[in-house]
Amino acid sequence: MSPAPEPDRASGLGPADARTPRLAAYRTPIPSRSRVELAVTAIPFAAIFALSWAALSVSPWISVALSLANAAFVVRLFMIQHDCGHGAFFGARAWNDRVGRIIGVLTLTPYDVWRRTHAIHHATTGNLDRRGTGDIPTLTVAEYRAKPLLGRVLYRLVRHPAVLFGIVPFYSFFLQNRIPAGLLRSGRRYWASALGTDAAILIMLGSLYLLGGVPVLFFVYLPMMLLAASTGMWLFYIQHQFEETSWDGDTEWSLQDAALHGSSHYVLPPVLRWITANIGVHHIHHLASRIPFYRLPEVLRDHEEFASAGRLTLRDSLRCASLALWDETGRRLVSFAEARRLPA
């Protein structure tokens, strides 16, 4: 008789791979619910965009205010695109792909490129030996100390919150996404995705310019997209960059443990949960990425062990912005100041 599985790290919940089969029951999309979720996101987005445009005749600052509010619906559209990329939003892959590609034009994200790099992220998250695709640049304390002065300065610059949540989102969504970043030599499919999305974006922006001129682009479109990009970067950061996250080398790493322990359970207020389409329930999402976002609360309701695991509140998350280096000995993410106090 084989021995009982070891308990999961510090959670007392049993091994992650033993819990994953229980999540299979939630993987089936509900077609009517998917259509409603798409409608209650796309229709308000279009309505607020139109109001912001109309407000230009009154005050550009009213337009900007409405545009910033509309960023919430851009974020939610991206989350629907995210579910489409996982094949989780509709039952048929063809519909996931159609909707995902259309939304990708609105979110400045080539759907097929993003789907592939995001799949790599899911397959490698928390693996120290497979960093570099679809993740936040993260060094260990030892790696950081071994870098020359210029390398340390550049890493500190990239990890500075003003850069990470201000400049990097603009670069990622407005510039990097214009080519199949990370897949340059992976075939014409990804070039077609990137360049096709670029062409559709140019048509969209050109139409806005011809119909409304520069004010529409600068007061209606740009504020919304900049805030949505920064919000998306923050959400992606906090999903894996928290003190008690998990990183291991290839020999110790396992997909299920990395999913459960290396992904946060971001407990947000109800309105923010709705805007972010439950993406805060990220530990479950990484364990079973085919679960539609609107079914993740069912998992929390039916399985208390998931609801209580790895909780990170909004207040807790603000302290995570200063974390930057993985301490392999202490098995936690630390700030630069904390790293200086660690023994060499």
Reported as a single tens digit per residue, the pLDDT across 137-182 is: 999 999 999 999 999 999 999 999 999 999 999 999 999 999 999 8
Distance of CA 275 to the CA centre of its chain: 13
Q: What is the 3-state secondary structure (H, E, C) of 71-108?
A: HHHHHHHHHHHHHHHCCCCCCCHHHHHHHHHHHHHHCC
pTM: 0.91
Does 116 have pLDDT greater than 80?
yes
Asked if 308 and 264 count as a contact pair (C-beta separation under 8 A), the reply is no
What percentage of the chain carries pLDDT values higher than 70? 94
Residue 16 — very low, low, confident or very high, per pLDDT cuts 50/70/90? very low
Nearest to 110 by CA among 37, 35, 182, 167: 182
At residue 246, the 3 state secondary structure works out as: coil
Domain segments of the chain as ranges: 26-341
Share the mean pLDDT of the chain. Answer: 92
pLDDT score recorded for residue 21: 72
Q: At what angle do helices 60-85 and 31-54 cross, to 10 degrees?
A: 160
Q: Burial, 14: exposed, middle or buried (Cβ in 10 Å; 0-12, 13-18, 19+)? A: middle
- For every residue of 152-172, DSSP letters joined together read HHHHHHHHSHHIIIIIHHHII
Owner of token pair 């990220």: 282
